[in-house]
């Protein structure tokens, strides 16, 4: 059974870091409702949901994907590019250790945010962004290449994280909103989508993706490709440069 690591939104969610967007009001109660609906979408598809210990002092703690990236039986604990987010990692470590995964960590001076890591087959595309530096990418490469992974650095300047701009469909096609993609040629198969919030998909199974409800034309495009599309409202997290990918860590058997 696939497993899902999630963390409830902090009561300080509205104070989260912002890089590319202007701050607008966030509705904390609506955020919790949207988060619960998001989690229920996975449960309905047979995922086991595991809640990471709450971290109310960490406004961005709900974006748990940034704290750890899982490669098979290896969990790479990230070192956040934003200093304010470095308190998120310890409670995430405890959760992945309880899953029986081997845990390694990115060390200073390296920085790596999980939102900058896109796994496609045995290739890990890693965004060279404002949050992930060259040393963090080098450390990740040293950890993964002996395990048969290829690590490819990709420039990210127009969005916060690589996965703010691109993700991948079950058939390994990378999808993105082209005005926000720095280098689409980095990916062997790339499909441009018509809406910014259509860039982020989570693969639920070989024929199903989960995505934001704020991209109906992109959802139709995916359905035309034969995919089952599950949509959820994540507006309060999108206001904070979040998306459907960063609200969870997916651990697959």
Place 23 in a pLDDT band, splitting at 50, 70 and 90: very high
Share above pLDDT 90 across residues of the chain, in percent, rounded to a whole number: 94
CA distance 163 to 86: 20
Active site residue 246: yes
Work out the angle at residue 208's Cα, subtended by the Cα atoms of residues 202 and 211, and round it to the nearest 5 degrees: 40
Q: Among the options 78, 161, 197, 243, which is catalytic?
A: 161
pLDDT, one tens digit per residue, over 63-97 is 999 999 999 999 999 999 999 999 998 889 999 99
Q: How far apart are CA 52 and CA 49, in angstroms?
A: 10
CA distances from 244 to 97, 104, 233 (A): 24, 25, 9
- Please pick, among 78, 197, 243, 246, the residue that the annotation labels catalytic: 246
Tell how strand 3-6 and strand 228-232 pair up: unpaired
Q: Which domain holds residue 61?
A: 3-251
To the query of whether residue 20 is one of the catalytic residues in this protein, the response is no
What is the reported pTM? 0.96
Q: In terms of Cα–Cα distance, which of 54, 66, 75 is closest to 3?
A: 75
Beta-bridge partners for 6? 51
State the total domains in the chain: 1
* Helix locations, 145-239, DSSP H: 162-165, 216-224, 235-238
- pLDDT tens-digit profile of 128-159? 999 999 999 999 999 999 999 999 999 999 99
pLDDT of residue 21: 87
- Residue whose pair of structure tokens reads 């104070």 in the numeric block: 15
CATH number, domain with residue 233? 3.75.10.10
Residue 221 has pLDDT above 90, yes or no: yes
């Amino acid at each position: 059974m696939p497993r899902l690591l999630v963390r409830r939104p902090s009561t300080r969610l509205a104070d989260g870091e912002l890089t590319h967007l202007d701050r607008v009001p966030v509705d904390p109660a609506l955020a919790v409702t949207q988060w619960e609906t998001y989690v229920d979408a996975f449960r309905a598809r047979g995922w086991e949901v595991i809640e990471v210990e709450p971290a109310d002092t960490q406004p961005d703690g709900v974006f748990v994907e940034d704290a750890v990236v899982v490669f098979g039986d290896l969990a790479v604990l990230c070192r956040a590019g934003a200093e304010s987010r470095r308190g998120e990692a310890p409670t995430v470590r405890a959760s992945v250790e309880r899953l029986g995964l081997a845990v390694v960590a990115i060390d200073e001076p390296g920085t790596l945010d999980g939102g900058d890591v896109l796994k496609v087959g045995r290739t890990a595309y890693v965004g060279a962004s404002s949050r992930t530096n060259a040393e963090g990418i080098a450390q990740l490469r040293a950890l993964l290449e002996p395990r048969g992974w290829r690590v490819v650095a990709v420039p990210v300047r127009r969005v916060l994280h690589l996965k703010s701009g691109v993700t991948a469909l079950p058939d390994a096609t990378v999808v993105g909103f082209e005005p926000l993609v720095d280098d689409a040629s980095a990916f062997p198969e790339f499909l441009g989508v018509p809406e910014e919030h259509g860039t982020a998909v989570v693969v639920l199974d070989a024929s199903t993706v989960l995505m934001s409800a704020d991209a109906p034309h992109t959802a139709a495009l995916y359905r035309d490709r034969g995919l089952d599309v599950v949509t959820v409202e994540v507006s309060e997290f999108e206001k904070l440069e979040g998306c459907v990918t960063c609200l969870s860590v997916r651990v697959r058997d």
